[in-house]
Every structure is written in C-alpha cells, then in structure tokens.
Amino acid sequence: MGFGTVGAGTFNVLQRNREEIERRAGREIRVTMVSRRQTGLARAVVGDAAEVVADARAIIANPAIDIVVELIGGTAIARDLVLEAIAAGKHVVTANKALLAVHGTEIFAAAHERGVMVAFEAAVAGGIPIIKALREGLTANRIEWIAGIINGTTNFILSEMRAKGLDFDVVLKEAQRLGYAEADPTFDIEGVDAAHKATIMSAIAFGTPVQFDKAYVEGITTLSAVDIRYAEQLGYRIKLLGITKRRQDGIELRVHPTLIPTKRLIANVEGAMNAVVVHGDAVGSTLHYGKGAGAEPTASAVIADLVDITRLHTADPDHRVPHLAFQPGAMQATRILPMSEVVTSFYLRLQVADQTGVLARITGILAEGGISIDAVLQRESAEGESQTDLIILTHDTVEGRMNDALAQMQALPTVLAPIVRIRKEELS
C-alpha cells in the first residue's frame, strides 16, 4: 500500500535477492498486489509480476494475501488502513514512524488482540537494524539511555554549516537543491521527525506506551555558524540528538541541538548518515551506524520484517517477540519528565558590554542558582569593540534552575542580545 521510492526499492530488492531471501525465510516471499493512485507509475516498475490497483483497500480485501506493507505515510488514512488490515487478520509491515509515534498504542493493542504482528524496523533509522537490537539483541540489559542522530537532513545541514562556516538558511537552500531536504522541510528541521523516532525507541527501551505528545521537541532553525565555530574551539560538535534516559523519577524524552565531545564516535557522524548510541548496564555503550534513508537502505529493513513475519507466521502469538519488547501485560505507564526537570549541562553565549564587573555579575547569578561553571571563554564580538562574546560551559544542572538564571541574566542592561542556550551531553 503506497508504491513510491521505498515501495519500488522493496520490490526491486525482493526480486534481485529472491533466492537468498527464500533460503533465509524458509519459503518464498512474493509481492502479488501493489496499490498506487497513479497506477501507470507502479506498473512501470512491477510489469506483470504483480497486480496493480488504485485502491489500497483491494489489498486488504484479498484473502490470499498474508502480509500488508504500509508505505503511504502520514497519520490519517494510513491509520485506518493499518487497523483494517489487522482486523482482517493480516500481518502489517510499516515504515511509518509518525503513525506509530502517535497511534502506536492503539495499533499494537489491536494487533495483540487479533494475534497478528506489526513490524516496523524501517520506521527508525532506515537501514540500521536498531529496533531489532533494542527488542532482541540487547534484551538482557537494563537500558539506561539512548542518544541518536536519527534525521539525515538535519545532520547534513549541520555538517555543511561546520565545514563551510555558513549559516542555516544558506545551507538549507543548498540541501533542498541537492535533494537532501524536502521543499517543505518543517518536520525535519523542527525536530518532529526525530522526535517520532525517539518516541518509538524510548517505548521499546523502557517498556512504556508510545507518548509522542509528551516529548520535548526543538529544531535547528535558530543555530548560527558562530556557535558551531565556538563549540569546535571548545572540543565539541553540535548535532540534533534524540535522547531518552531512565531516571529514578521518570523518563527523559527530548530532541534538541546538543554539544557532544568531538572524541565521541557519534560526534564524527557526518552528512546524511544516522547513528544511535545505546547504553545498557551489561553491554555498556553500543554504536549503530548507517544510512537512515533512501530506497534500498529502507527496503533492507522492510524486507527484514517480511522475513521475520514469514518465519513466525505459524508460531503461537503469545510466544512471538512483543511489539515493544516487553510483554503487553508488563508495560508500565512511567512518567515522562517535563523539560524543566531534565538534568543536563549547557553552552551559553552572551553578547555583553565590554565593561568591568560584567563577568562577575553573570557568574554570580549562576552561583546563586546553584549552577556550577565548567569553563569560560571571552571572544571579540563581530558587533564592535565595545561588545564581547562571553561563552560559558556549565556542569549538569536541572533545566528549571537554568531557566531562572537565564531570565535574570537577560534582564541585565549589560546583556545586549538574546542569550544563546544549547544543551550539552558528554555521553560517557
């Protein structure tokens, strides 16, 4: 259902590697019906190998079909079609992260009730098998945290900003010209796409329902080249990270630009590539790296799901790998912490008057708020000799405290522009 770039890639890889896939699955996996409104475009790819229809519901109505692959996208018609396929007793494979982040709890409950599988490896990080790693490979571990570069568009933009010293708007236009960014890139650059994926990984890691509406989401549109340059001088790179952490009082679930030490492997992931670090109590930190999008990398994940379902098609539903790793009756509605309760460290850049006592007043406000300073740099401002850029790195603190301190600092007459605040994670 839906036969665009990923659908065509899936069909082509299935055809090309048919024998290898059948050897692994134990039986043939055959595409028998494809739906696309522009049937001619689909027929040009599949030829006579499969029936092409304009109405996706014809696939659901076909009693000979065992597995439905949903590649339409969005959360409206896709939700209805997936629930109808489940009700018809068909297994579902989807690459739709928005659908699962928003409606996953409802969809997984319906699948459990009907005894069918919903597989979604392609929904997070494209060709990287991160869902399988979290659900199966790391199942012995108590997952402590996950941090991921899970949107290739924003990582390409940030890499170009750092390499060429250009501001966001300039690089975005270039990314659109090269096809890395959509004509309307809002979901990517505002962090929504990454938050959908982080929400799914968080649910699997900690055994909670998907709770996208409680995620904190901040994009990269306000980042400037000067902050990327200062971060580099301090030994950090700025990446848009999806982060989820286990805390005694709840779970952190957030997406925002983040300073990462340059010595960390994930800090050196460039271009449109994706990477996810998972930290478990037994295994320590593992890094999962690869292509996060594209026809055949995503097709790789879709077909892996098809093979899994084929292998388990006749298995007792109660003994299959649970959708979100934990048995349905063992899921916990753990609290998602508001951003004001999140603990992290910070990069601050203040444009201040070049006067005696300014630094002392600012550091005094931080001290009064119980915020410990890690490093302070002073740089000549591009705005003129009477001003200076003050860069401060802090140790870990509660975000609510930082918000209070920022309000006090911003009110000072010697602070001449809005303060730049970027969160920092050591990922150690």
Coil/strand/helix, residue 353 = strand
Q: What is the 3-state composition of the chain as percent helix, strand, coil, each rounded to the nearest 5?
A: 45, 25, 35
Both structure tokens of 391 = 């860069």
CA 284 to chain centre: 21
Torsion, Cα 264 261 233 362, to 10 degrees, reads: 180
Question: Would you say 156 and 175 are in contact if contact means Cβ atoms under 8 Å apart?
Answer: yes
| Single-letter amino acid code for the residue at 224 | S
Question: Active-site positions?
Answer: 197
Written in H, E and C, the secondary structure of 129-183 is: CHHHHHHHHCCCCCEEEEEEECCHHHHHHHHHHHHHCCCHHHHHHHHHHHCCCCC
What are residue 387's DSSP bridge partners?
353
Output phi, psi for 358, to 5 deg: -65, -50
Both structure tokens of 388 = 């200076």
**Which H or E run includes 386?**
none
Question: Would you say 298 and 126 are in contact if contact means Cβ atoms under 8 Å apart?
Answer: yes
Strand pairing class (420-424; 273-280):
unpaired
Torsion, Cα 190 165 392 276, to 10 degrees, reads: 50
Beta strands in 268-383 (DSSP E): 273-280, 284-291, 343-353, 373-380
